[in-house]
Structure 1
Amino acid sequence: MIGATTAIVHDTRIKKKDGTYAIKLRVTYNREQKYFPVGKFLTKDDWKTMKEGKHRNKTLKDLETHLSGIENKAIKIIDNMESFSFAEFMNQFNDKPQSKTSVLDALSERHKELTDKDRISTAITFQYTIKSIEDYLTSIKRKKLSFTDITPEWLQSFEDWMTSKGKSITTTGMFLRNLRTMVNQAIEEGNLPRENYPFSKNKYQIPSARNVKKALTIENIKQFIEYPAKTEAEQRAKDMWLFSYLCNGVNMKDIVRLKFKNMDSKRISFVRSKTERSTKANQKSITAIRIPEINAIIEKWGNKHAVPNNYVFPILSVDDTPEEEYEKIKQAVKTINKYTKRIGKELNFELSLTTYTARHSFATVLKRSGAPIEFISESLGHNNLRTTESYLDSFEDDTKESYQRKLLDF
């Protein structure tokens, strides 16, 4: 590695009680020097004798051979590094496992952990993150990536490459958040100095998609409800979208996993799949009142055997593996979106009508009706108001105008 040099030195700055001083490996890079203890100590006289090579006893000869081996090890490590950093050198010099310093190995381990815990959806995002980073490294003719390589400059370059490949800001942000998770873990485990943390306001910030319109107006909802479905499949998709909208914007995964034991004669209660693992200490049960429109959808499309452990809607089976469950939910969402998008186009809606829109529409219609944000937050199952605010679309122009006129309402 050009620019990094090594030397075995006698550090005489601190004297031990027995009159010896520590022998250390000195590494110099870009005029910066760092010293690494090797666990050996000598007096000044013995150090001089060993270095001059005269009248050395067997102990000093063996020690010099040992020290030479240590320096050769350091040189080999440096020569094999694609880019030098003291933190990475220290990890390898101290024989820390490569998996602790390799980003791709750490991501792979995380992917396996998530898979073993049946968190298939999140595991897949890590799988895609690994593939994207591997493709990026290939594009810049690199094979390895250590945590010390993750600098603000590297992150910006990776982001630019992702967008140049047509990846959305949402996808790019998701992959970078996965990467940030592993960087945080590396710091916690002592595999990356805290001062090397690249994600901050003054260093690199993960991009977030601009807040585009995701919610229908109450007039749009009326049009949607009154729309005459052309086929049974279209009607089923329409009803499942409406079920989500009326049940606090519950997402399709939670609808598909809903069981009869989650319901009584008046209400539906459940914990969101998204938070049941990540917020065990503060899980919020979401409750939706069983209004007639909700009951009608359950009656029409629900499982006819209403026993506690049966799924309300016959999409999943109790014998499904996590992988099979993931694929069935994915297919259900895809099918519903296919028909709701078609309905949205027929009604000339500006936005793409998907299952995701139902959740945002629930929150936004409530906000526009004057419901307190605290109520909306509780209904959505959020733990803080900031998350809720991100769901809320802006008011219509006429509402803004009515408030703006009050500025001159003398």
Structure 2
Amino acid sequence: MSSNAKIVLRKKPNCKGLYPLAIRITKNRRSTYRYVGHYIDIEDWDEKNIRVKKSHVNSDNLNSLLTQELSEANKALINLQSEHKDASAHQIKKELYGSSENSTFFELAQEHLDDLESLQKLNRLSCDKAWVGYILKFYKSKQLTFQEIDERFLKKFMLYCKINHKLSETSIMNIMVLVRLLYNRAIEQKIVNRELYPFGGNRVRIKFPETVKIGLNIQEIREIENLDNLTPSEFHARNVWLYSFNFAGMRVADVLRIRWSDINDNRLQYRMGKNSKLISIKIPQKALLILENYKADKRNEIDFIFPELKKANLTNPKDVFNKIKTANRKFNTHLKSIAKKAGITKKITMHIARHSFGNIAGDTIHPLMLQKLYRHSDLKTTLNYQANFIHKEADNALDSVVNF
């Protein structure tokens, strides 16, 4: 796919509420931005004609500057297309505008976020955008250079996150992973010397704390299945949770995207949202009974089974993402009251359906089969995940010593 350049007003205001003008360079649906150094009020921007309105005091000069910048970018792109057919948007930007050795941390962070948005990786975009926000709150300026991000800076930042924002150790480590990713990119682009790398060895080590994964047992799931004093919203939340559990803890985003056309010959065939894998799996009898509750609302074969995405704007990935996020939050609220009615003290969320399947599976199913059921790409992921629920050997070993 050919590359192109376009004048845009970025919808990210500065501290004065003004918006930056930029040249957007796109290649294969991935974009990067060259800021021209001028900010205007959003009311002074003509989106339809892509120019600064006459209402701005320097509209003529700004429009001349934008036209010149765009013309130079397009001329350079024409020359680059034959020489660098496989160049990325960022490589094209580098060719057009020279070295990026003065790029700041937040400039590379913004490029990273723009990439995630272009690739529609909205869940990660939401997380990484929040992580970048914590760094900006700590430093209080977007002029942070990579040379400033040393061991002392990172340790002070981690302490700040823990004390000022009460972030968990896992969240802090996730921010460190993002900083490390961007630092490595800065090294590749020769923005910072590799000798200043602040991670690993005796410097800052990224080590995630062990987490306890607790799932429901068979009796607890039966208690939930047998509840008959549920509100309509609780009844629906239970159905979605049990549906997820019956498919080895299918992720809520995949559950809500399932259509009636994905069901053929009592098999569910769908593409996972996380890694685009094609899945074909038998529909358990309990799941078939759940589906019966939704047939009356079926509009056509390509209709969604569950109602949450029926009114979503499917051409707008952000709208779909937000509706799934809202639905998950509502499900978790209702699952909390369901647990109370069932007399279950364990925390129940949509994700606990996956833990519950792992807890009941234990070590009774071969790891390769569990890998297939979990839809993991790597067997190591399955082994590490399932290790949280395998206690039999350790329990027997303990008994062999103390039961005398």
| 1:367/1:373 contact within 8 Å kept | no
| 1:285/1:381 contact within 8 Å kept | no
> How far did 1:128 drift?
1.1
Root-mean-square deviation (Å)? 2.8
Distance 1:201 1:232, change over 3 A: farther
Q: Does 237-246 or 253-262 show the bigger shift?
A: 253-262
Paired letter, 1:129: W
> How far did 1:319 drift?
3.5
Question: Quick one: distance in 1 between partners of 2:392 and 2:125?
Answer: 45
TM-score under structure 1 length normalisation: 0.67
Specify the alignment match of 1:129 in structure 2: 131
Paired letter, 2:386: L
| 2:212/2:388 contact within 8 Å kept | no
| 2:158/2:172 contact within 8 Å kept | yes
Specify the alignment match of 1:96 in structure 2: 99
1:152 aligns with 2:151: yes
Paired letter, 1:204: V
| 2:257/2:309 contact within 8 Å kept | yes
Question: Quick one: distance in 1 between partners of 2:98 and 2:105?
Answer: 17
Specify the alignment match of 1:163 in structure 2: 162
Question: Is there any run of 5+ residues in structure 2 with no aligned partner, and where?
Answer: 1-96
1:385 aligns with 2:379: yes
1:301 aligns with 2:304: no
Distance 1:199 1:271, change over 3 A: farther
> How far did 1:203 drift?
2.5
Local SS of the residue matching 2:306:
coil
**Corresponding residue pairs, total:** 304
Local SS of the residue matching 1:268:
strand
Distance 1:198 1:269, change over 3 A: farther
Deviations 1:26-65 (Å, cap 9, x if unpaired)? xxxxxxxxxxxxxxxxxxxxxxxxxxxxxxxxxxxxxxxx
Structure 1 counterpart of 2:329, from 311, 328, 334: 334
1:358 aligns with 2:357: no
Identity of aligned residues (%): 23
Question: Quick one: distance in 2 between partners of 1:125 and 1:109?
Answer: 15
Question: Quick one: distance in 1 between partners of 2:392 and 2:367?
Answer: 21
Specify the alignment match of 2:215 in structure 1: 215
> How far did 1:409 drift?
11
Local SS of the residue matching 2:362:
helix
Deviations 1:310-331 (Å, cap 9, x if unpaired)? 3232321463311111111011
Structure 1 counterpart of 2:368, from 356, 368, 374: 374
Question: Quick one: distance in 1 between partners of 2:149 and 2:292?
Answer: 54
Distance 1:322 1:386, change over 3 A: same
Paired letter, 2:129: Q
Paired letter, 1:103: F
1:313 aligns with 2:315: no
> How far did 1:131 drift?
1.4
Paired letter, 1:331: T
Deviations 1:260-283 (Å, cap 9, x if unpaired)? 34321232133321223xxxxxxx
Matches within 5 A, 1:169-188: 169-188=169-188
> How far did 1:191 drift?
2.5
Local SS of the residue matching 1:315:
helix
| 1:258/1:312 contact within 8 Å kept | yes
Question: Is there any run of 5+ residues in structure 1 with no aligned partner, and where?
Answer: 1-93, 277-283
